[in-house]
Structure 1
Amino acid sequence: MKPLLEIRDVSLSYHTTAGETPALSHLTFNLMPGEFLAVVGPSGCGKSTLLNLICGLLTAEEGSVLMNDTPPSPGDPRIGYMLQKDHLLEWRTIYRNVILGLEIRGELTHEKLNYIEHMLCTYGLDKFRDAHPSQLSGGMRQRAALIRTLALKPELLLLDEPFSALDYQTRLNVSDDIGRIMKKENKPAILVTHDISEAISMADRIIVLTRRPATVARIITIDLELADRTPLASRNAPKFKSYFNLIWKELNQHA
């Protein structure tokens, strides 16, 4: 099977009047269709920089980033991006927030509006369609942000610590919700997170990065041997602790 995304020997440095700061060094990995990757590494190692390269906001100085053999460009419609904050607009209702991307693109078609209706009903937001963001919990807001992103039908979803602003209990519930949604929608994704448990519970493979300039220290395939794997069920799997200890050891070796 051909990879959806190919990262080949990618390097990038930031340049200021104070000098050059290497951020990424010779990164190489693939993302397969339908796969969920997680990226972990020391704070400040360049994880968010990597996502900005993948979505075309930055350009590699060396190497290549290819999605189906084509480099991404800024605003690439093939790629959806969820950030730490939901960025819902308070003066718009939840429904009008969810359709915002389609509105901007001029794609408010009957088919896509029906798709939004389906997702609002399926994921428990239909009753809150006329509410404003401040009236919703943090978890429900993130669910709305995900529906807004999925409404554009991206081929790849990038998640930059989308649960980090939530309290622990809400974070567990929302990650489980979003994990189920991703599985149901069969969307390939790359999740950047500082939370090892979150990475193990959601990902098919985990890329461990070194400190800056980041290189790939190790790529770990997660097989928890669960018949019906969900993020919450994954945390109770017998092999979960072994993966946690392995990744913890890798991170400490390269911190």
Structure 2
Amino acid sequence: MKPLLEVRDVSLSYHSLSGETPALSNISFDLMPGEFLAIAGPSGCGKSTLLNLISGLLTPEKGSIYMGDQPVGTPNTRIGYMLQKDHLLEWRSIYRNIILGLEIRHQLTPAKKELADQMLATYGLDKFRNARPSQLSGGMRQRAALIRTLLLKPELLLLDEPFSALDYQTRLNVNDDIGKILKKENKPAILVTHDIGEAISMADRVVILSKRPAVVKKIVPIELGLKDRTPMSSRNASLFKYYFNLIWKELNQNE
């Protein structure tokens, strides 16, 4: 099976008046169709920079990024991007927030409106369709932001620590919610996270980056032996602790 995404020998440095700061060095990995990949690494190692390169917001100084047979360009409408903040607009209702991308792209057709209604109902937000973002919990806001992104039918979803602002209990619940949604939608995704447990519970493989300038230290396939795996059930799997210790050691090897 051909990879959906191919990242090959990608390097990038930031340049300023004070000099050059290498961020990424010869990063290579693949993402297969339907796969959920997590990227873990020390704070400031360039995880978000890597997502910006994949999305086309930045251009690598060296190497290539291909999605299918096409090089990633700017901007890439085939890719959906969820940031740390949900960026819901307070002066718009939840319904009008989730259709915002469709409005901007002039794609707000009757079929898309029907799909928006279906997704609000399926993912438990229908009774909040006329509410303002401030009336929703943090987890519900993130669910609305995900629906807004999925309505654009991206072929790949990038998640840049979208749960980091949530308290621990809410974070676990939202991990489970969004993991189930992505599985139901069969949507390939790349999650950047500093939370080892989150990476193991959600991903099929974990890419471990070194400190800056980041290189790929190890790629760990997560095989928990669960029939109907969810993020919550993954945390209770007997092998969860094994993978946690393995990734922890890789991240702290040279500290």
Using the size of structure 1 for normalisation, the TM-score is 0.99
Residue identity opposite 1:159 in structure 2: L
**Structure 2 equivalent of residue 98 of structure 1:** 98
Residue identity opposite 1:168 in structure 2: Y
- CA deviations on 1:107-165 (whole Å, 9 max, x unpaired) are 00122221111110000000000000000000000000000000000000000000000
Residues 1-255 of structure 1: matches in 2 within 5 Å?
1-255=1-255
Residue identity opposite 1:25 in structure 2: S
Residue identity opposite 2:217 in structure 1: A
Residue identity opposite 1:126 in structure 2: D
SS at the partner of 1:118? helix
- Equivalences, count: 255
- CA deviations on 1:22-74 (whole Å, 9 max, x unpaired) are 00000110000000000000110000000000000000011001111212223
Structure 2: which 5+ residue stretches go unaligned?
none
d(CA) in 2 for partners of 1:248 and 1:112? 43
RMSD: 0.7
d(CA) in 2 for partners of 1:253 and 1:76? 36
Residue identity opposite 1:30 in structure 2: D
Residue identity opposite 1:21 in structure 2: T
Structure 1: which 5+ residue stretches go unaligned?
none
SS at the partner of 1:22? strand
SS at the partner of 2:70? coil
Query: CA 1:121–1:254 in 2, change beyond 3 Å: closer, same or farther?
Result: farther
d(CA) in 2 for partners of 1:8 and 1:216? 12
Query: CA 1:109–1:237 in 2, change beyond 3 Å: closer, same or farther?
Result: same
The answer (yes or no) to whether the contact 1:80–1:157 under 8 Å persists in 2 is yes
The answer (yes or no) to whether the contact 1:211–1:254 under 8 Å persists in 2 is no
d(CA) in 2 for partners of 1:157 and 1:184? 14
d(CA) in 2 for partners of 1:208 and 1:168? 23
Identical residues among aligned pairs (%): 75
d(CA) in 2 for partners of 1:134 and 1:73? 35
Residue identity opposite 1:190 in structure 2: I
Using the size of structure 2 for normalisation, the TM-score is 0.99
SS at the partner of 1:192? strand
